[in-house]
């Protein structure tokens, strides 16, 4: 799956570059805004807070909404993402950390933060709860088919939607994860970075490592906090 992820990321980068040639300035800004919101929902809220750390619970509608957005933002299946991220918490800033700038290098982490050589089946033990869940197994098995279907459906409606509802959200997620994992651990330990928080919401990284199951991001004016508060169920 990792080789296919690299190909997908390369295609998304090409798609982002092409936006400068095919979109008007107004269209580009609209896509950027939509990319920010959907990318943050898919990466920070869905993948990171909800599926990996189980920081909050929600109803079935929002569960499946978060699951779909988590897929189309291009950061890997829920199983692959969790296997890498939980391993990161287990070996944070030590050998074995799948995205440590100290051992892998800043730019390698930025451009492929969970693509360490040993990642894949060997690390699936860190997502064993999701491996027992048929929904997550289905997504893992058909991950690239879902991407292809999402892309083709948007393309048939309007090529602009491919940028607005696929390429920009995915690239926000990918670039954001790159900055969070590279910059917030550079050179070798977790740090809180205000500028990363303002742009990508997850920059309070030292706090996160100290409180991994906390859904609330301790920073003013982060709309992700409000979104989670609106959709989470009261019992958690």
**Predicted local confidence at residue 235, as pLDDT:** 52
From residue 47, give the alpha-carbon distance in Å to each of 12, 18, 88, 160: 19, 27, 15, 26
> What average pLDDT score do residues 24-53 get?
95
**Predicted local confidence at residue 152, as pLDDT:** 97
pLDDT at 44 over 90: yes
**Predicted local confidence at residue 236, as pLDDT:** 45
pLDDT at 118 over 60: no
Residue 200 CA from chain centroid, whole number: 10
**Predicted local confidence at residue 190, as pLDDT:** 87
Alpha carbons 233 and 212: distance in angstroms, whole number:
19
Confidence of residue 106 (pLDDT cuts 50, 70, 90): confident
**Predicted local confidence at residue 115, as pLDDT:** 52
**What's the alpha-carbon Rg for the chain, to the nearest Å?**
17
pLDDT at 194 over 50: yes
> What average pLDDT score do residues 135-152 get?
96
Confidence of residue 183 (pLDDT cuts 50, 70, 90): confident
Mean pLDDT for the chain overall? 89
Alpha carbons 133 and 145: distance in angstroms, whole number:
19
**Predicted local confidence at residue 157, as pLDDT:** 96
**Predicted local confidence at residue 122, as pLDDT:** 63
pLDDT at 198 over 70: yes
Prior bond to 187 cis, omega within 30? Answer: yes
Any idea where the domains of the chain sit in the sequence?
2-231
Helix, strand, coil shares, percent, the chain, to 5? 70, 0, 30
**Predicted local confidence at residue 119, as pLDDT:** 53
């Amino acid at each position: 799956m990792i080789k296919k992820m690299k190909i997908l990321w390369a295609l998304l980068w090409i798609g982002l570059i092409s936006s400068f040639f095919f979109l008007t300035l107004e269209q580009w800004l609209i896509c950027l805004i939509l990319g920010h919101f959907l990318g943050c929902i898919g990466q920070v809220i869905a993948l990171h807070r909800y599926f990996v750390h189980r920081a909050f619970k929600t109803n079935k509608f929002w569960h499946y909404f978060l699951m779909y957005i988590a897929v189309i933002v291009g950061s890997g299946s829920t199983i692959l993402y969790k296997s890498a991220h939980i391993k990161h918490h287990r070996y944070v800033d030590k050998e074995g950390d799948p995205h440590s700038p100290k051992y892998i290098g800043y730019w390698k982490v930025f451009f492929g933060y969970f693509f360490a050589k040993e990642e894949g089946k060997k690390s699936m033990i860190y997502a064993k709860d999701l491996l027992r869940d048929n929904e997550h197994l289905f997504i893992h098995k058909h991950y690239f088919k879902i991407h292809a279907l999402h892309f083709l459906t948007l393309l048939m409606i309007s090529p602009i939607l491919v940028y607005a509802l696929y390429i920009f959200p995915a690239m926000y997620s990918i670039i954001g994860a790159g900055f969070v994992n590279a910059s917030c651990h550079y050179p070798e330990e977790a740090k809180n970075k205000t500028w990363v928080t303002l742009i990508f919401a997850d920059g309070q990284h030292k706090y996160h490592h100290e409180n991994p199951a906390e859904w609330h991001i301790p920073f003013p004016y982060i709309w992700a906090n409000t979104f989670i508060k609106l959709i989470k169920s009261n019992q958690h």
